[in-house]
Structure 1
Amino acid sequence: MRVLISTVGSRGEVQPVVALARALAGRGYEAVVVGPPDFRSWAEGLGAEYRPVGPELRGTARRVPGPPPTEEQRRAMIAGTVDAQFDALLAVAPGCGAVVGGGALAIAAGSVAEFAGARYSYAAFAPVTLPAAAHPPPAFRGVEPGTWEQDAERWNLLWAEPLNARRAALGLAPVADVRAHLFTASPLLAADPVLAPWPEPGGPVRQTGAWQLLDPRPLPAEVLAFLDAGEPPIFAGFGSMPEPSGAAEALLGAARALGRRLIVSAGWSGFTVDAPDCLLVGELDLRQLFPRVAAAVHHGGAGTTTTAAAAGVPQVVLPQIFDQFYFADRVATLGIGVPYTVAPESDSLTSALSAALDSTARARAVAREIRPDGAQLAADLITAG
């Protein structure tokens, strides 16, 4: 069977679906990932079949001065995203027996599955993105979370018109509840049950564990040399997020105050720290790097938080949007690090890092509980029946 996997977002969305594609391939299935063009060469280097959709997203992490888009411009962008996804997915859907939507922005996946007569599965990467009485919707870009009913109304307001226009063109009936259509009645939850447990066990949500990917290629020689040259350094990186103002100076001061060196990931924003006791790196396989660092300072993305937790690395989490606040809270609740929600400053960050380092034993204990087989379990569920 051939499986189509659709996602839109940063590496935090793309890496787990590539892990799923590899798990499917290991079971003898064909899988094609449709995602942002930013990750095509990386995914193909891992042996995944990958088709690009939409524009490159890397520039979204850079702060660009100017007014926000008008309502008309925003609607045009949304319609363009919907059209691009339908066109890309329809081109590869023939012959696919199953379609997976990875993350909430995979708007066209369910409709393309319906049109192609394929099974459809939706996967969320954090519990708080799925409706439940135990938590409100996560806030996004300054919008107050409100209730789940209000969240459903926002989904319809933003997406119903362009989605139903493309469905009509395919001869499909309109959907009245966009969110329910996308998420399905029985979504997958690709999050670890220790780090990010579903609050209503026994219900329709199927928690598989996080879809973790191990890149078989070794870390770059310069990274290995830096690691070998002294005590384990502090890792700092903010992924697809802009770096918090003042973070570079605060991180360098805090690391030096604790007698540590730094490895800094530039991320999408081009974050940098210029110092002889700091190594600046691009995108790396964090599953190989994290077991060799003393602590990880990051934005609280689902993938980074899970990778650090699985490696037994204490964390300092600087959340900015969406589910990052949830993961910062979970790190604190589990005692495997600390959230840091103030403007970065050397003394307070030194205190946060020191507290995180004190939780090393607890972080290592929790790491032994993180399940490694989430992608394999998901592959079995998606292809069953």
Structure 2
Amino acid sequence: MTVDRLLPTPEAHDLLDLTRELATRELAGKVDDFEARGEFPREALRTLGRSGLLGLPYPEEAGGAGQPYEVYVQVLEVLAGTWLGIAEAVSVHTLSCLPVAFFGTAEQRKMLPDMLGGETLGAFALSEPQGGSDAASLTTRAVAEPDAWVVTGTKAWITHGGQADFYNLFCRTGGPGPKGISCLLADAATPGLLPQQPERLMGLRSSAPAQIVLEEARVPRDRLVGAEGEGFAIAMKALDAGRLGIAACAVGLAQGALDHAIGYAREREQFGQPIGRFQGLGFMLADMGTQISAARALLLNAARLKDAGRPFSTEAAKAKLFATDVAMRVTTDAVQILGGAGYVSDHPVERWFREAKVLQIVEGTNQIQRMVIARSLLG
């Protein structure tokens, strides 16, 4: 089902039409195979990049498309309705470009056209085995030498780990706490930067994260992004935007599950009529559709605040919290509507159900989102 959307410009309508066309032509026929094999769809991302979809919210002069976040999140939603692994990869890559785009030196910013065009793929290396939600306690350390930062530690749950061309490495260059953290831009070929085997996941198998072990990895001194000690602030700015991306993925996933459940409820007959005519199932579909619309409204409100240059962190947390919880409920109900058929992999709702869970965890767990919202309410 095509959602009726209010978009700011005719160009935005054309962009969403292009996204739907690419999703149908380039992605829909490949998702099951790539998910079954656990293979990362690098060429599909290059196709999206060459179509202008990997740098949407960044300025045209930097190699982006100059689109507002209001449009970017709806592009992600369309992609997620076909292949969540692709949409999540686009969201993470967009997040990974932010440090250089907003805090990079003039020399570092020369890399942006390739980043935003999708010729190079990024990773955001913040989490660690013992430091997920408590990012300020990270222990990966970078020691300054005359020509390089020597980095030692382990990063965990890194999307595009082993696939990325560049990594934002958040490291401790000073004392304890957030003010001791800096951001380094490391090439994948950096000696001592060692991606490990991808994790074996419940869902998102085509975009599985991996640990990155850093054994005295030498990152050139001129690859410090922003000022020394500014890394935690850079990470938080990126994560505020990244939460909008994950919320968009959740809305798209939920919409895809609802559309499939509607199609099944129209065609599947029991007791002489389509099952959708039974009030018990009809009301389930009504609740699913209403929850998705509410999640989309929260998402677009937060995106429009960001576009207007107004504070949006709390609204992004609300959108991420609500949209990902909705995705979990809607995919659960979609499996129920299909009954036994929903529990087999012949129908995509089984995959969507497994994938929805991770969205409640990544880019800050939903418990962390509640903390952010509560602190805002309490001042």
**Fold in common (TM above 0.5):** no
What is the TM-score with the length of structure 1 in the denominator? 0.30
